[in-house]
Amino acid sequence: MQSVASQQYQLVTDGNVTTPQGFTAGGLHCGIKKYKLDLGWIYSEVPATTAGVYTTNQFQAPPLKVTKESIAVENKIQGILVNSGVANACTGAEGLQNAYKMRELFAKAIGVEDHLVAVTSTGVIGTQLPMGKIESGINEMNATGNQGAENFEKAILTTDTCTKNIAVQIEINGKKVTIGGAAKGSGMIHPNMATMLAFVTTDVDVADESLSKALKQVTNKTYNMITVDGDSSTNDMVLVMANGKAGNETLTEQHPEWATFIQALEFVCQTLAKKIARDGEGATKLLEVHVKGTETDEGARKISKAIISSNLVKTAIYGADPNWGRIVCAVGYSEEPIDPDKIIVSLGPIKVVENGLPLFFSEEDATDYLHSETVQIFVDLQQGEGSAVAWGCDLTYDYVKINASYRT
């Protein structure tokens, strides 16, 4: 199963990206948006080993190019600068130069070399960044009231209705190690990364190649398993910074406690991914789809993604309509080989299909269940040991309203 198994970590109350040792963060309003915070940053006291994953959209925004170049120099980053309101995507040579300028200005402000800075943007596509406002904002970063993870979490939001954060602690080599995270994402969310940004900080010491492998492995089970509306953005990015301040022995895949680290990292990323799915534009419910009984885990991923991506399924969940036919329809067009005569489908605790045939069930009970804030769908193909979990949300009238007036 794709969900995190046994817990070897402790959830930190009100934990965030500054909970790990050696990290600070902040955010302010520089004028990109009318009123809300729109410029945020994370800073590590020392250069941190860094890994990233990025959108698969072919229109990758300039900040992604600049950040990739920064990390490629020595796989280390010391500061991250994020603006919201303008995506700096499809902005040509000027947009690329603006991304470089953001990096240069922030690097100077925190006293590091340019390649130790990552930059990213989120918001409206096709608009140039107001560099004068961003530069003024960078100059005001140290002002009273700008510091704190809460300000950072607010500054990276677009149509989100809430901030998204988490931190957990584990023990490695007898040392207390912390992993914290923050994310944004509400619309234009689809598996294989979507208009979402996620930032994970940790004071653990991890080898750079091992950290990169860990992030890719965890991303495939978490961020790549969510959807809101089927649109993949130009700006998606997940970054993990590990500054080693916990003082543990350097982690690699061969370390006896590697699995403990991976489990905690997956839990942090899974929690952020689920919060993004639940905060889908206009959403009222979190949809969690469990698929098992496929020949491979990849097959289960394809089927679970097909179900959570189906507009017919999503609208049925919104309307609390136990129309299981929409679920089996999505399974059927997932392109994964199945035996239709073996499928079992349940809406939460209520089994509605067995061996491909409908079962008698109480429509009233099923409707009541579908009014829950979290709705689970279980599908068993009875063909193998593969399994996966995917997360999405219902599709509501408000989604149309929000996106019909996004720029106004």
> 273-311 in b/e burial notation, b at 16+ Cβ within 10 A?
bbbbbbbbbbbebbbbbbbbbbeebebbbbbbbbbbbbe
The whole-angstrom distance between residue 343's C-alpha and the CA centroid of its chain comes to 31
Q: Using CA atoms, how far apart are residues 122 and 195, in angstroms rounded to an integer?
A: 8
**Which helix (H) or strand (E) is 363 found in, with range?**
helix 363-370
Residue 374 is among the residues annotated as catalytic for this protein? no
Q: Using CA atoms, how far apart are residues 366 and 61, in angstroms rounded to an integer?
A: 44
Active-site choice (67, 195, 219, 222): 195
Please report how many Cα atoms fall inside a 13 Å half-sphere around the Cα of residue 87, on the Cβ side.
Answer: 22
Place of tokens 């992993």: 179
- Write the Ramachandran bin of 237: left for phi over 0, alpha for psi from -120 to 50, otherwise beta: beta
Cβ neighbours for 360, distance < 8 A, ≥ 6 positions apart: none
> 344-374 in b/e burial notation, b at 16+ Cβ within 10 A?
bbbbbebebbeeeeeeebeeeebeebbeeee
Catalytic positions, please?
195
